[in-house]
Chain A
Amino acid sequence: MTHFIDRRLNPKGKSLANRQRFLRRARNQIREAVQKSLKDSAVADIAKERKIKISTKGTKEPRFRLDPKAAGERDFVLPGNKEFMPGDEIKKPRSGEGGGRGKDAADYAEGEDDFEFVMSQDEVLDIFFEDLELPNLVRTTLKETPNKTWKRSGITTAGSPTQINLIRTMRNAQGRRLAMRRPKLKDVQELQNQLDLLEREQPQSDDTRERICALKAELAKAIARRKWVGFIDPVDVRYNAFTEQPVPTSQAVMFCLMDVSGSMGEREKDLAKRFYMLLHLFLKRRYEKVDIVFIRHTHDAQEVDEQEFFYSRQSGGTIVSTALDKMLEIQRERYTTSDWNIYAAQASDGYTQSGDARRCVEMLNAEIMPLCQYYAYIEILDEREMEVFASEDSGAELWRAYRTVADVWPNFATKRISKPADIFPVFRELFKKAEA
């Protein structure tokens, strides 16, 4: 009559459709929140599950409610009277603090409540990509998980017969045989020989007969014990264990170069950060290990940590070539080309000391480009400047200089950007290679 049904194996994610509808509904708030969250997170942390806090604007579910605080009168009953007598007056709690009004207050404040929930890595990336207007094919390439391979990982007690580890198995068996005192075949034969000798003796004395009996008993015991303590027992058997591991491709280092002089503001740095994030994401998919080196420069370059890179400000002139010098120095010290793939991403507002651009070009052509897999340069402008420099050919000194480098080296990309959607074309060549 009663039915017990085990539903645990039913497909999960029944509410996935509802979740998609919710994400779609709260699209704008979520996007804002994700962007803020990306801004505060490290470049390497982009592809991670994260907690998102959004305002409930846009996902309100209003219902008619009474508001007894505004006007009118009411009676209500509470539990836990301690000292009140009829006719007593109780001060109303201020702004719903404490007491029996806790719930009411929470209800009324609902409008301003922030709403917090967890977004999966894919959902975050979708929003990140949407902003950058990445082509779909590229999106899937980026989200793909790398290939796996089986790697040995120790010994287990269970496995398939083909994976038996003979040495371990035999060693265990031997240990067990010793511990359990399994008579050796040699010993049994010895006993048998003695017995045969004695039995052949003619005539047999009482003493001999007794010895024969004793030997027979000993022999039977030894044979029984050999049966009982097997040569190999299931407990001895060991198997080689294998686990899945990502294919070890090679390693890459990503140099982030940025001009941090006064002319680079909040907006410029935020754009630059997305640029680095996208490159990092790409490298992460292709290489098992990605190092990031942050180099900031004014008239002088330093290697700094990420926090300082994005958030501290320095004053001074602008000499781009110092950063290139620094990069080369670090590369020589720590990242030999035989072990590392080298990528560089440079962001700047396009100003440098006059004459420096020429030096940059020389360094790039002679030393840096032969080492690099890819070198991407973005010049961050505001919308107005963008109109002025509508043509690729016009521009400041550094821009014009870099254009000549791009002409020579196909793996050198330059782009002027003023909004997130402009970033992707810088990497177009890079992703084309990845797809092929």
Chain B
Amino acid sequence: MTDLLFSEAEWDFATLDRTYKAIEEIALNDLKLDVYPNQIEVISSEQMLDAYSSLGMPLMYNHWSFGKLFAREDTLYRAGYSALAYEIVINSSPCISYLLEENTMTMQALVMAHAAFGHNHFFKNNYLFRQWTNAEGILDYLAFAKRYISACEERHGRDEVEAVLDAAHALMDQGVFRYRRPPKPSRERILEKRRRRAEYEEEAYNELWRTLPAGVDPPASPPTLDAEDDFGEEMKLPEENLLYFLEKNSPTLKAWQRETLRIVRNLAQYFYPQRQTKVMNEGCATFVHHTIMNLMFDRGLISDGSLLEFLHSHTSVVFQPEFSDPRYNGLNPYALGYAMMSDIRRIAEHPTEEDREWFPSFAGSGDWVGALKDAWANYRDESFIEQFLSPKVMRDFRLFALFDKAEDSTFRVSAIHNEQGYRRVRSLLARQYDAGTADPNIQVVDANLKGDRTLFLEHHMHRGVPLHHTTKDLVTSHIETLWGHDVVLEEVAD
């Protein structure tokens, strides 16, 4: 065949480009994907390790925890315990994907389809990413953060900065707004501040100062109302975003420390949608690469050998060990996401009676692209599972639900993949993916500002599950560092 895009494992830039164009053609015309412009970078394994250890971002401020992560990954990699990821993709515009130089050409094609089109489409279209993250601005913001933190290190010393970052990292999970958009620094407040200052200057103005001989300065300007001393004026309680609360209200933090908290908080918020859409994001990318690679094969663009190599890698990605398997490490988001999305296609094209009953809205419609694009755009893991997990996928995965009470010595099987159990298994699984219930619900309830400045936090226990006690104490002491006074964390039953 002469149409093959490539026939050997070796790749070069011309082949990459040719292949990219073929993939793009399929992605845009057949799958009707809508993507940010792509920027594809080829990197070495050491650079991949670098990228790993800075949360996959091309730029990141310096912190020892990233060094620790690198040391660990490096050791595992050298010992051969873990292979490197084939790709890393960054939710930014242009969307940056990293290809590992050691990949074969088939793998590069797979990775481009997976990252540059699958993930990219998801980032651009999913409502969580659209609402909460700013793909155009993230790289600039990281550049700012890196500069800012290193300037702080220079001015205030590494230890000082490290202490704040340590504490802020410990609160990253509690540093996101779950239900409302982060409040913009209210315009009114800024205006009000300027007005008050102008008033003061007017009051303090005295004609006499104009008569001073040259070279003599009037008395120093009045103390300004800066962020360091107007804390606590309008605490809105209760507050679930601990980092936000501390940034705005801590009585001891200096301006640069508040800015540092803000940087960590913005990062946490940036990554929050990714945590809520793991199944969907990976499912989407896996489904897209699977579809594109198969179409390329059908059109004679890749060889039998490539297809087999691709399938081999694809199958290991979507492998789901059973719960009793020693390799079991939770549900594999690639496997679940891919299975559900393939199932949506099947339901749209060849529905069974059962599917028609469960998914009347699109069963048999034939428009699987439309159905999937709707799902990718408007759901997160929790709602996606609640809405689209079909009985067939539950049977394929043999999902079953367990009820666990801490005092009991046994788990009770509460539902399995049968007629009576489908709905229950489905909503329990959906809840398992709800970041709102998986993360402990901790709120600031009160701060004793007039007295000893004790800060009161409450953990609202969901179904009586308490915090893990050692980490609870450690994190609480981090909060004390930031608050500067005692912190009381109480666990209350719902």
Contact of B429 with A77 in the complex, beta carbons under 8 Å = yes
**Distance between B436 CB and nearest chain A CB, rounded to angstroms:** 13
Contact of B322 with A71 in the complex, beta carbons under 8 Å = no
- Chain A CB within 8 A of B266 CB: no
How many angstroms from the CA of A89 to the CA of B49 in the assembled complex?
45
Question: Contact partner of A76 among B166, B172, B401, CB < 8 A?
Answer: B401
Name A15-72 residues within 8 Å CB distance of B: 15, 17-26, 51, 59-72
Contact of B471 with A15 in the complex, beta carbons under 8 Å = no
How many angstroms from the CA of A100 to the CA of B24 in the assembled complex?
40
Contact of B401 with A75 in the complex, beta carbons under 8 Å = yes
**Distance between A61 CB and nearest chain B CB, rounded to angstroms:** 6
Question: Is the interface on chain B under 10, 10 to 19, 20 to 34, or 35 or more residues?
Answer: 35 or more
Question: Contact partner of B72 among A8, A72, A99, A117, CB < 8 A?
Answer: A117
Contact of A3 with B62 in the complex, beta carbons under 8 Å = no
Contact of A5 with B42 in the complex, beta carbons under 8 Å = yes
Interface-side segment among B193-201, B216-224, B271-279, B458-466: B458-466
Name B69-88 residues within 8 Å CB distance of A: 70-72, 74-75, 78
Q: A59-B64, A73-B404, A77-B399 are in contact. Are A65 and B440 (CB under 8 A)?
A: yes
Name B32-84 residues within 8 Å CB distance of A: 37-44, 46-47, 49-50, 53-54, 62-68, 70-72, 74-75, 78
- Chain B CB within 8 A of A334 CB: no
Contact of A4 with B412 in the complex, beta carbons under 8 Å = no
- Chain B CB within 8 A of A205 CB: no
How many angstroms from the CA of A98 to the CA of B464 in the assembled complex?
25
**Distance between A317 CB and nearest chain B CB, rounded to angstroms:** 49
Name B223-242 residues within 8 Å CB distance of A: none
Contact of A5 with B41 in the complex, beta carbons under 8 Å = yes
Interface membership of chain B positions 453-482, coded 1 if the CB is closer than 8 angstroms to chain A and 0 otherwise: 000000101111111111110110010000
| Chain A residues with CB below 8 A from B461, complex form | 72
| Chain A residues with CB below 8 A from B53, complex form | 15, 18
Name A230-245 residues within 8 Å CB distance of B: none
Name A82-111 residues within 8 Å CB distance of B: 82, 84-92, 98-100, 102-103, 108, 111
- Chain A CB within 8 A of B403 CB: yes
- Chain A CB within 8 A of B452 CB: no
Interface-side segment among B1-9, B203-211, B257-265, B323-331: B323-331
Contact of B44 with A8 in the complex, beta carbons under 8 Å = yes
| Chain B residues with CB below 8 A from A25, complex form | 64, 68, 162
How many angstroms from the CA of A321 to the CA of B354 in the assembled complex?
97
Contact of B466 with A78 in the complex, beta carbons under 8 Å = no
| Chain A residues with CB below 8 A from B156, complex form | none
Contact of B50 with A15 in the complex, beta carbons under 8 Å = yes
Of chain B, the residue at the smallest CB distance from A87 is B413
**Distance between B154 CB and nearest chain A CB, rounded to angstroms:** 13
| Chain B residues with CB below 8 A from A63, complex form | 170, 172-173, 471, 475
Question: Contact partner of A118 among B75, B321, B471, CB < 8 A?
Answer: B75
How many angstroms from the CA of A90 to the CA of B326 in the assembled complex?
18
- Chain B CB within 8 A of A12 CB: yes
- Chain B CB within 8 A of A167 CB: no
| Chain B residues with CB below 8 A from A74, complex form | 403-404, 463, 465
Contact of A76 with B428 in the complex, beta carbons under 8 Å = yes
Q: A67-B466, A77-B432, A102-B328 are in contact. Are A23 and B472 (CB under 8 A)?
A: no
- Chain B CB within 8 A of A394 CB: no
Q: A74-B404, A77-B400 are in contact. Are A111 and B67 (CB under 8 A)?
A: no
Interface-side segment among B244-252, B308-316, B344-352, B416-424: B416-424
Secondary structure class of chain B's binding surface, majority of residues: mixed
Of chain B, the residue at the smallest CB distance from A108 is B468
Contact of B42 with A61 in the complex, beta carbons under 8 Å = no
Interface membership of chain A positions 311-349, coded 1 if the CB is closer than 8 angstroms to chain B and 0 otherwise: 000000000000000000000000000000000000000
Contact of B47 with A10 in the complex, beta carbons under 8 Å = yes
Contact of A88 with B64 in the complex, beta carbons under 8 Å = no
- Chain B CB within 8 A of A160 CB: no
How many angstroms from the CA of A81 to the CA of B421 in the assembled complex?
13
| Chain B residues with CB below 8 A from A89, complex form | 410-413
Interface-side segment among B13-21, B179-187, B296-304, B367-375: B13-21
| Chain A residues with CB below 8 A from B62, complex form | 17-18, 21
Contact of A75 with B64 in the complex, beta carbons under 8 Å = no
- Chain B CB within 8 A of A116 CB: yes
Contact of A75 with B402 in the complex, beta carbons under 8 Å = yes
Of chain B, the residue at the smallest CB distance from A18 is B67
How many angstroms from the CA of A73 to the CA of B406 in the assembled complex?
6
- Chain A CB within 8 A of B378 CB: no
Of chain A, the residue at the smallest CB distance from B489 is A64
| Chain B residues with CB below 8 A from A2, complex form | 17, 20, 24, 37-40
| Chain A residues with CB below 8 A from B397, complex form | 79-80
What are 28 sample pairs from A and B whose C-beta atoms fall under 8 A apart?
Answer: A2-B17, A14-B50, A18-B54, A18-B62, A18-B70, A19-B67, A22-B68, A22-B70, A23-B67, A25-B162, A63-B471, A63-B475, A65-B440, A66-B462, A67-B467, A67-B468, A69-B406, A70-B469, A71-B406, A72-B464, A74-B404, A74-B463, A80-B325, A81-B398, A82-B322, A86-B414, A115-B71, A118-B71
Q: Which 9 A-B pairs have the closest CB atoms?
A: A80-B322, A22-B67, A72-B464, A18-B67, A72-B465, A117-B71, A62-B474, A21-B64, A67-B468
State the B residues within 8 Å of A (CB). 13, 16-17, 20, 24, 37-44, 46-47, 49-50, 53-54, 62-68, 70-72, 74-75, 78, 94, 98, 101, 158, 162, 166, 169-170, 172-174, 320-326, 328-331, 397-417, 420-421, 425, 428-429, 431-432, 438-440, 442, 459, 461-472, 474-475, 478
State the A residues within 8 Å of B (CB). 1-8, 10, 12, 14-15, 17-26, 51, 59-82, 84-92, 98-100, 102-103, 108, 111, 115-118
